[in-house]
Structure 1
Amino acid sequence: MAIVVGYVPTKEGRAALTHAVQEAKLRTTSLVVINSARGGRDMAEADQQTELENLVSQMRADGVDVDLRSLVRGLEPAEDLIAIAEDINADLIVIGLRRRTPVGKLILGSNAQRILLDAPCPVLAVKAD
């Protein structure tokens, strides 16, 4: 079993990753880091990928068993996180939250809401400092 964390290069994504590492250490389990993009203009740029790879290297050096999955499959990030959590029988999903206006939720949808409602396991939702 493992912990799944959704990562994007934002303060919320970094907060999720920090808390996921803490949970992985506490539970002595592995960590699956998911960086999901739909493609096109949402694709992670090379410097973002390099940042993520550096973070993963730091986690491994700190003794955390990490599996990095950068996905560009045309799916919403919520779909990727839920599918992988189901596939690996995850113990926990960790996501970062940001405040959004009601109109923003209506127009853009909410990956966090979908994960909270459809996840096959408990979800830890964290806010950035």
Structure 2
Amino acid sequence: MYEIVAGIDKSEDRGRAIAESITEMPLDHGEVRVTLLHDFQDNPEGASVDQVASVRHARKILEEVGIEVVLEESSGEPADAILRLADEQDAEMIVVAGRKRTPTGKVLFGSVTQSVILGTDRPVLVCSGDEN
């Protein structure tokens, strides 16, 4: 089984980009398992991962082509959660969607994508998921 960990935020566009990029990879879909991880940084109502629209849409796209999907949730720092889960599952690949930010914006607000890339030896697929 080819294990992929995908970090999904609230953006439906980025969630769709991640799912579509995975479906376009030259893999036997029946031999792929994707864990969609959503990190709740602020969750006062106690929502669960399957209530997040971007996760539901990504799951639907993946399952329609026969890819097995597992949902995971965490709270805290998204990059740390993605890296920890990838290690726990011994994932072959991590998939995230980047956002266009200026260098100053990255310094001020951080970058989950950058932290994931720099924090692992695993292959990282970065999808373009900016809203236009």
TM-score by length of structure 2 reads 0.78
Residue 39 (structure 1) aligned with residue 42 (structure 2) = yes
Give the aligned residue type for 1:13.
Answer: G
Counterpart for residue 66 of structure 1: 69
Shift of 1:99: 1.0
Counterpart for residue 7 of structure 1: 8
Counterpart for residue 118 of structure 1: 119
3-state secondary structure, aligned to 2:95: strand
Give the aligned residue type for 1:85.
Answer: A
Counterpart for residue 53 of structure 1: 56
State the distance in 1 between where 2:49 and 2:69 align: 20
Task: For 1:92-103, list aligned pairs within 5 A.
Answer: 92-103=93-104
Shift of 1:45: 8.8
State the distance in 2 between where 1:100 and 1:77 align: 17
Shift of 1:70: 2.5
Q: Could you tell me whether the CA contact under 8 Å between 1:3 and 1:91 is conserved in 2? A: yes
CA distances 1:45-91 after superposition (whole Å, capped 9, x unpaired):
999625533542453343111101122x2x21101100000000000
Counterpart for residue 22 of structure 2: 20
Gaps of 5+ in 1: none
Count of aligned pairs between the two proteins = 125
Q: Percent identity?
A: 27
Give the aligned residue type for 1:16.
Answer: I
- Aligned Cα RMSD in Å? 2.7
TM-score by length of structure 1 reads 0.79
